[in-house]
Amino acid sequence: MYTLTVIPGDGVGPEVTDAVLHIIDALDLNFDYTTADAGEECYKKTGTTIPEETISLAKKSDATLFGAVTTVPGMKSAIITLRKELGLYANLRPVKSYDGIDSLYKDLDILIVRENSEGLYSGIEEYTPEGAIATRVITKVASERICRFAFDQSIKLGRKKVTAVHKANVLKKTDGIFRGEFLKVSEEYPEIETDEKYVDAAAMFMVSKPQIFDVMVTTNLFGDILSDEGAGLVGGLGVAPSANIGDDNALFEPVHGSAPDIAGKGISNPSAMILSAVMMLDYLGEAEQAQELENALLDVLSSSKVTTPDLGGSSKTIEMANEIRSKLI
């Protein structure tokens, strides 16, 4: 029995969340899940975007499934708060091509490992008479931890190369620390090939020669940008899952946002949420069930018969979910 905290959120979040719960219910696994609030609708009801009760439930769960939330201007981010409270220092963003998805490249399978706890997203900003200053925090502990995580993932997944992405030629102190920790950790993994790229060069190669990458490890802001760029290579955010992992907790979410323009129409693409659930099952040690779920999705995507409008079809979210579920029964 796995205990899950499910945070549907708002916008299309509840739609894709309902779809994935409907599908994984067909797996030969037992889930005991509790629904919790976060996001804009939660703020309207409670005055906060992320109640303490939600955080507490997530901390006690084996994993958390997070749908999507709408940003409330001036209020704390629900997802960033959860990442910090749960100690989720590693953000995994696969960049993978799938049959049936219109993409720029058909042969990509890259894993971007993004440091999730510091960098320019540390939230340390202040106004000055001239404008404002943001402080970029890079520590040896966090850099070593994320680099080791990237190499361990490479071993686990049978990958061959880890590329560090930084800008140490300009950010000599902060990225100098990140680069130094990467080089130290790499010495402990002689079986894994290592490489370095400046972030601007990495962005260019992601477009021109993405096949040179296998696993990429980088700092928070660089990872955020490069992972969205990677999603654009393989069909967009509608097929982009993510995992946020720490030492004791993990949270899984699609990265497409709440898409308020289509919310309530029942046409949201559940693929990214389903692929996030695949990552969750793998995290829980259910590799066979994870592969079964991914295969069911890929079967439906490759046939292109029962898909949502953004995928070129005319089906509703729940119709696509039913078709995927039918492959598991």
| Residue-averaged pLDDT of the chain | 96
CATH architecture of the domain with range 104-233: 3-Layer(aba) Sandwich (3.40)
User: Are residues 95 and 156 in contact, defined by beta-carbon separation less than 8 angstroms?
Assistant: no
Fold match flag (1-93+237-329 vs 104-233): yes
pLDDT tens-digit series, residues 260-311: 999 999 999 999 999 999 999 999 999 999 999 999 999 999 998 899 999 9
pLDDT at 329: 83
Point out the residues that are catalytic. 121, 167, 200, 224, 228
Is residue 74 over pLDDT 90? Answer: no
CATH architecture of the domain with range 1-93+237-329: 3-Layer(aba) Sandwich (3.40)
Question: Please, what is the angle between helix 220-233 and helix 199-208, to 10°?
Answer: 10
Question: Which DSSP category does 49 fall into?
Answer: S
The sign of the CA dihedral 113, 115, 121, 123 is positive
Transcribe 186-225 into DSSP letters: HTT-TTSEEEEEEHHHHHHHHHH-GGG-SEEEE-HHHHHH
Quote the pTM value: 0.95
Q: What is the mean pLDDT of residues 180-190?
A: 98
Contacts 24+ apart (CB under 8 A), 117-126: 117/83, 117/84, 117/87, 117/88, 117/89, 117/142, 117/220, 118/142, 118/219, 118/220, 119/219, 119/220, 119/221, 119/222, 120/220, 120/221, 121/80, 121/220, 121/221, 121/224
Question: Exposed, middle or buried, 31 (CB in 10 Å: 0-12/13-18/19+)?
Answer: middle
Cα–Cα dist 244/63, whole Å: 10
pLDDT at 304: 84
Cα–Cα dist 11/256, whole Å: 11
Domain boundaries, the chain: 1-93+237-329, 104-233
Question: Which DSSP category does 306 fall into?
Answer: S
pLDDT tens-digit series, residues 119-178: 999 889 999 999 999 999 999 999 999 999 999 999 999 999 999 999 999 999 999 999
Question: Which DSSP category does 123 fall into?
Answer: -
pLDDT tens-digit series, residues 77-110: 999 999 999 999 999 999 999 988 989 999 999 9
